[in-house]
Amino acid sequence: MSGSDLLQTTINFLAVGGLYALIALGYTLVYGILRFINFAHSDIVSWGAWIALTVASAAGWLASGRAGMAPAFALPCVLLVTMAVCAAMGVTIERLAYRPLRKAPRLNVLITAIGVSLFLQNVGLLNKVFGNRPSTISALLQNDVLATVGGVQLRLFDLLTIVLTLVLVVVLERIVYGTRMGRAMRAVSFDERVASLMGVNVNVVVSVTFALGSALAAAGGILFALRNDLRMTADASWVLLGLKAFVAAVVGGIGNVRGAAAGALLIAFVEVFVHRYVNAAFPDKPWVGQLQDIYVFGILILVLLFKPSGLLGKAVREKV
Amino acid sequence: MKGLQERVAALRPALAPAVGKSLLPFAVAVLLAFVMDKIIGPGVGATWSKILLDVGIAILLAGSLNVINGYAGQFSIGHAGFMLVGGYAAAWLTFYGSVHWFGTKEPVGGFLGNGQLLFLAGCMLAGVIASVFGLVVGLPTLRLRGDYLAIVTLGFGEIVRVLGQITARQPKNVAAIKERTMWDLANNLGGAEGFSQVPGYTTLFFVYLFAFVLLVLVYRLKYSSQGRALLAVRENEIAAEAMGVDTTRVKVVAFVFGAFFAGIGGSLYAHQVGALDPKELGFMKSIDLVIIVVIGGMGSITGVVLGAAILVILPEVFRQFADYRMIAYALALILVMILRPQGIMGVKELWETSLWRRLVAKVKR
Amino acid sequence: MTTALEMKKLSLAFGGLKAVTDFSMALPPRGLYGLIGPNGAGKTTVFNLLTGVYVPDVGSVELVGQRIDGKKPSQIARAGMARTFQNIRLFGELSVIDNVRTAAGVRTKSGWARTLLRTPLFVAEERALDERCHELLEIMGITHRQEEQAKSLPYGDQRRLEIARALATEPKVLLLDEPVAGMNTQEKKEMRGLIQKLREQFGVAILLIEHDMGLVMDICEQITVIDHGVTIAVGSPKDIQSDAAVIEAYLGVPDERDTPQPKGSA
């Protein structure tokens, strides 16, 4: 692979990694606090994208239908509003569907999460809500080529994704490690009972966790939709996106914020680089291009077999 | 106190009656399947026949999943992957085999004629191939915690789907097929378009034959040491291990058993629908099965039968609300988990509930 | 006479925390030994080492002459060592009798094939199992509740059920982890008699962890005291009761502030 090709692929890899990281963080935060996999997280991602569409068209920014025609402040506005709405959604879902099961066996909550996921997917399909046809929000971003250095194009989208992810991850890191609420979150993730005995309001901490995770998910959803078109809420692409982000969280060490970021980069690396190399090595076999998903799951299996606590995770012993 | 093995010799049943008792339920299963096919089917008409067929397949699939999720308390959400794998194996055998050995793509022969025997062989092959996959997936992953297993089985379902979509095209021309050997055609499973023109061998007889056999096996399993070992793993894995249950082994065997019958279910499905589309047998189908098991009662045979019946018949009855079907399911799932997490039956069977006992007591008087 | 259970220099550390150091004990067949120590001393950790939940860093465990350290808990149970749990780990949703039946299953030979076909051997084994389990419940005094769900049993009966379940595996060594915790005086008296009878009735050696000193001093032939994972005393009940190190471990060293000062000197 030539040097410029390598650089292009690297930019691609960082953007994809950033996307996965935003979504993986939501999974890892919730798992850290409640020890359960929020299957419905990928649906917050898809709803985030669709809510963005709704907001943007309500504001008239998608009227022209052509890419990049909305004013420059449109995207940040949409982003903020959508993140807030999704944060509220996350909190509500937790309150209604997960809180009653706080003490129930983990299997039950998992099933409930699947129920919530199905609910969101299918309500989203209704014509009254988002409908079952794809759409687009590309009007919000003029995906200009910002710079071209020796055959490598840096597109606005890629830069935006990388920068936005960095900013949000740093903000999250600051919250989790630098504020009282963050300390409370970490306390609850170690031992919920003891944390509550120490005066931590577990319900508030859980709500904040869901709010943060859902806001990040919304950002991820919007970025994904800008990149790939906006498919309907029940489309497999959202499930797959969520799944890969979840794999990233697990691979990095579930419950661990830095782990989620590391895992996301690893998954993106495999997806982008391995895919690229394998494609180049087997040009005559077109189906090789479809193997991306398998690589990702392959990594999951390997990690779960050899280091189930993840690359940056710590093993937890159950008291016998 | 005398040990267990010391008492065994004295308690051995006589051979002949024991063999009789062993095989009788299977004979009854064959008979009932026959009755289903020749009497009840024609009796209820075409629409309800199809519904009964679907219910039977659902019972087979959910009943097999019940052994993994219900008895052993594991969380497998990739059961449809086994269906797909089994379906492909069976369809390969019947479609290409039909052309090679019978010279035609159409169903051949009457009841238990050549065609149906080929189909039966296909079903058996489906079960075996699916259980091999079950072993490969189960062996490394059943050591993991519950939620991780969920992700891996989900991933498995997706991987099978992807693999199915990258297989080679399915030649449909009889002459073209005859030119190649069966082995050679093993990769020609239709790719993204799926495998079509699968001969329609599935009848009420076969569906209920397998369904009733499964029910017998699952019943026998539940009331046995092996079955109790599974239930113990579900209840408290650490205690089960301390009481001599090799938990990993037991989980793997349950997984393989479930996979076997899911494979057969896949074959029945393929030969009913006439085609196998990898996208149809993905995550959503797996979830459909999980819903039946959860709502019916994880670990209850009667629960699963009830659940299968309800969840196949209800959508038919409420066909015009198709849009809202999944939403209703989703809400039902959430509400059941919050209000009655054990499902309709819990782990009990119908004859173990106090309601039944009271009814029986009344009848006896 | 071969020992039923022999532990030699067992040690286990979790990172920097030395949970158990250099633990040794030889339990004779039909012996009744006690293991005591303050909370957090490492007693249950010893049990966990014996039953395969933890693998010792150093040392060996021999059950009737056979090495079992490093083996899986289910293999150790099959070899003949059973236990009860400090925090009671019953199969809650299953019935009382099914809890016992499950454990008895370790002595059956029928696999899935025989089970699904209901062969004569399977039928015979299930009948034998049933018979034995009913007898076990009777001995433990919980027959009247046999079809009830285990989780609905009163606390004392739950502890008895755990013992019945452990006995169903036909063990040579029985490890009881706080068998009378939370019981009232009457229940404790009954348990005391029961535990002592077990040795004769089942030919089993017993090692028990307990905090109830009355019980321990009364029925144990030999007592080992550990604190912070280290053995601080071994001997007969009489020896232990007057051992200074033991008293220190439980009650601490007397402090000036403990002894009353004469008035007017402060």
In a domain, A257, yes or no: no
How far apart are alpha carbons B211 and B340 in whole angstroms?
27
Give chains near B: 3+ CB pairs under 8 A: A, C
Which residue shows structure tokens 């399977």?
Answer: C122
Residue range B244-273: mean pLDDT, rounded: 95
| Higher per-residue pLDDT: B143 or B164 | B164
In a domain, A81, yes or no: yes
Model confidence band, residue A273 (pLDDT cutoffs 50, 70, 90): confident
Burial of A202 (0-12, 13-18, 19+ CB in 10 A): middle
How far apart are alpha carbons B93 and B196 in whole angstroms?
13
Contacts of B326 in chain A (CB under 8 A): 118, 121-122
Contacts of B255 in chain C (CB under 8 A): none
Q: Which of C69, C31, C67 is nearest to C220 (CA)?
A: C31
At C75 the pLDDT is 95
| Higher per-residue pLDDT: B126 or A293 | B126
Whether residue A106 is predicted with pLDDT greater than 90 in this model: the reply is: no
A182-210 per-position pLDDT tens digit: 888 888 887 777 888 888 888 999 999 99
At C105 the pLDDT is 94
User: Which residues have a Cβ under 8 Å from the Cβ of B242 and sit 6 or more positions away?
Assistant: C51, C53, C73, C74, C77, C82, C83, C85, C89
Residue B131 lies in domain? 28-282
Identity at C116, one-letter amino acid code:
L
Q: Is C85 on the interface with A (CB under 8 A)?
A: yes
In a domain, B170, yes or no: yes
In a domain, B22, yes or no: no
In a domain, A305, yes or no: no
The answer to whether A110 contacts B75, with C-beta atoms less than 8 Å apart, is yes
A138-174 per-position pLDDT tens digit: 777 766 666 676 667 778 888 888 888 899 888 888 8
Among the residue ranges A227-236, B154-163, B239-248, C119-128, the one predicted with the least confidence is A227-236
How far apart are alpha carbons B298 and B50 in whole angstroms?
26
At A302 the pLDDT is 81
The answer to whether A116 contacts B334, with C-beta atoms less than 8 Å apart, is yes
Kind of pairing, strands C5-14 and C17-27? antiparallel
At B78 the pLDDT is 92
How far apart are alpha carbons B258 and C86 in whole angstroms?
35
Q: How many domains does chain B have?
A: 1
At A258 the pLDDT is 84
Give chains near C: 3+ CB pairs under 8 A: A, B
Contacts of B237 in chain A (CB under 8 A): none
In B213-276, at which residue ranges do the beta strands (DSSP E only) sit? none
How far apart are alpha carbons B300 and B310 in whole angstroms?
15
How far CA B30 is from CA of B23, B37, B204, in Å, comes to 11, 11, 11
Whether residue A291 is predicted with pLDDT greater than 60 in this model: the reply is: yes
The answer to whether A107 contacts B165, with C-beta atoms less than 8 Å apart, is no
Residues of B (6-65) whose Cβ lies below 8 Å from A: none
B181 conformational bin, left if phi > 0, alpha if psi -120 to 50, beta if neither: beta
Q: Is B340 on the interface with A (CB under 8 A)?
A: no
State both tokens at B91: 């369809």
In a domain, B15, yes or no: no
How far apart are alpha carbons C205 and C209 in whole angstroms?
14
Instruction: DSSP letter for C103, please.
Output: H
Q: Is B236 on the interface with A (CB under 8 A)?
A: no
At C40 the pLDDT is 83
Contacts of B77 in chain A (CB under 8 A): 114
The answer to whether A104 contacts B337, with C-beta atoms less than 8 Å apart, is yes
Angle at A87 between CA B327 and CA A105, to 5 degrees: 60
**C127: nearest CB among B2, B11, B238:** B11
At A145 the pLDDT is 66
In chain C, at which residue ranges do the beta strands (DSSP E only) sit? 5-14, 17-27, 32-36, 58-63, 66-67, 81-83, 173-177, 205-209, 222-227, 230-235
In a domain, B213, yes or no: yes
User: Which residues have a Cβ under 8 Å from the Cβ of B158 and sit 6 or more positions away?
Assistant: A240, A243, A293, A297, B78, B282, B283
In a domain, A258, yes or no: no
Residue A155, H or E segment: strand A152-155
Whether residue B248 is predicted with pLDDT greater than 70 in this model: the reply is: yes
Whether residue A113 is predicted with pLDDT greater than 60 in this model: the reply is: yes
How far apart are alpha carbons A256 and A276 in whole angstroms?
30
User: Which residues have a Cβ under 8 Å from the Cβ of C38 and sit 6 or more positions away?
Assistant: C227, C249, C250
Please state the pTM of the whole predicted model: 0.88
The nearest alpha carbon in chain A to C177 belongs to A320
Tell me, what's the ipTM?
A: 0.88
Residue range A245-268: mean pLDDT, rounded: 88
Burial of A251 (0-12, 13-18, 19+ CB in 10 A): buried
Whether residue B271 is predicted with pLDDT greater than 70 in this model: the reply is: yes
Q: What percent of chain A has pLDDT over 90?
A: 25
The nearest alpha carbon in chain A to B294 belongs to A111
The answer to whether B163 contacts A294, with C-beta atoms less than 8 Å apart, is yes
Give the minimum alpha-carbon distance from A227 to chain C in angstroms, rounded to a whole number: 47
Residues of B (72-91) whose Cβ lies below 8 Å from A: 73, 75, 77
How far apart are alpha carbons C78 and A196 in whole angstroms?
43
At C121 the pLDDT is 93
B76-131 per-position pLDDT tens digit: 999 999 999 999 999 999 999 888 888 888 888 888 888 899 999 999 999 999 99
Q: Is A197 on the interface with C (CB under 8 A)?
A: no
The answer to whether B155 contacts A297, with C-beta atoms less than 8 Å apart, is yes
**A300: nearest CB among B155, B191, B333:** B155
User: Which residues have a Cβ under 8 Å from the Cβ of B153 and sit 6 or more positions away?
Assistant: B75, B76, B77, B78, B79, B81, B137, B141, B286
List alpha helices for B36-78, DSSP H: 41-65
Contacts of A290 in chain B (CB under 8 A): 162, 165-166
Give the minimum alpha-carbon distance from B195 to chain A in angstroms, rounded to a whole number: 17
Kind of pairing, strands C32-36 and C205-209? parallel
Angle at B316 between CA B313 and CA B318, to 5 degrees: 110
Phi, psi of B21 (to 5 degrees): -65, -30
Torsion (CA) B226, B231, B236, B239 in degrees, nearest 10: -30
At B151 the pLDDT is 80
State both tokens at B127: 């079960």
How far apart are alpha carbons C83 and C72 in whole angstroms?
14
Which residue shows structure tokens 């898809």?
Answer: A46
Q: How many domains does chain A have?
A: 1
pLDDT in tens, chain C (266 residues): 578 889 899 999 888 888 999 999 999 999 999 999 988 888 999 999 999 999 999 999 999 989 998 999 999 999 999 999 999 999 998 999 999 999 999 999 999 999 999 999 999 999 999 999 999 999 999 999 898 899 999 999 999 999 999 999 999 999 999 999 888 899 999 999 999 999 989 999 999 999 888 899 999 999 999 999 999 999 999 888 888 788 777 766 666 565 565 554 44
Residues of C (184-223) whose Cβ lies below 8 Å from B: 201-202
How far apart are alpha carbons C242 and A122 in whole angstroms?
74
How far apart are alpha carbons B286 and B84 in whole angstroms?
11
Give the minimum alpha-carbon distance from A40 to chain C in angstroms, rounded to a whole number: 30
In a domain, A118, yes or no: yes
Contacts of A320 in chain C (CB under 8 A): 44, 48, 53, 85
Residue A95 lies in domain? 18-236
Identity at B131, one-letter amino acid code:
S
In a domain, A253, yes or no: no
State both tokens at B43: 């009796």
| Higher per-residue pLDDT: A22 or C245 | A22
Contacts of A316 in chain C (CB under 8 A): none
Which residue shows structure tokens 């914020």?
Answer: A257
The answer to whether C115 contacts B227, with C-beta atoms less than 8 Å apart, is yes
In a domain, B79, yes or no: yes
How far apart are alpha carbons C224 and B217 in whole angstroms?
51
The answer to whether B163 contacts A37, with C-beta atoms less than 8 Å apart, is no
Average pLDDT, chain A: 83
